[in-house]
Amino acid sequence: MNLNEYQEQAKTTAVYTSSEQRLICTVLGLGGEAGEVSEKFKKIFRDKGGQISDVDRREIQKELGDVLWYLAVLSDTMGLTLDEVATLNLEKLKARQAQGRLHGSGDNR
């Protein structure tokens, strides 16, 4: 499955009552799910000495899937395909790499 195929299928499970609700809920949901990924890692390092078990890996995979779902639906809400988002991101990173600016801070480096 490619990114756009995933996005098309993900959209069929997005049930919102308005475009405004869809935008707000997907933005907040993306942040929430990314936070859940962070929480999983925090607990692995706090409670398990950083040892990631197969069970941990599977649980993180589920949370990453939720991040991907929200990203797919939010991108669609903004009129973007996941392929477009991914392509632009790689172009940006390759340009930074060519300029020796992968490290550092700021959006437009």
Burial 32-44 (b: 16+ CB within 10 A, else e): ebbebbeebeeeb
Report the domain count for the chain: 1
Q: Do the domain assignments include residue 93?
A: no
Q: Do the domain assignments include residue 26?
A: yes
11 touches 79 (CB < 8 A): no
| Cα-based torsion angle of the residue sequence 18, 19, 23, 29 in order, rounded to the nearest 10 degrees | 40
Quick one: pLDDT at residue 101?
A: 83
Q: Do the domain assignments include residue 47?
A: yes
Q: Do the domain assignments include residue 75?
A: yes
Q: Do the domain assignments include residue 42?
A: yes
Q: Do the domain assignments include residue 96?
A: no
Mean pLDDT of 51-62: 98
Q: Do the domain assignments include residue 100?
A: no
The domain that contains 23 carries what CATH number? 1.10.287
Mean pLDDT of 46-50: 97
Write out pLDDT tens, residues 17-30. Answer: 999 999 999 999 99
What is the extent of the structural domain holding 27? 3-79
Write out pLDDT tens, residues 61-73. Answer: 999 999 999 999 9
Quick one: what percent of the chain has pLDDT higher than 70? Answer: 95
The pTM of this model reads: 0.89
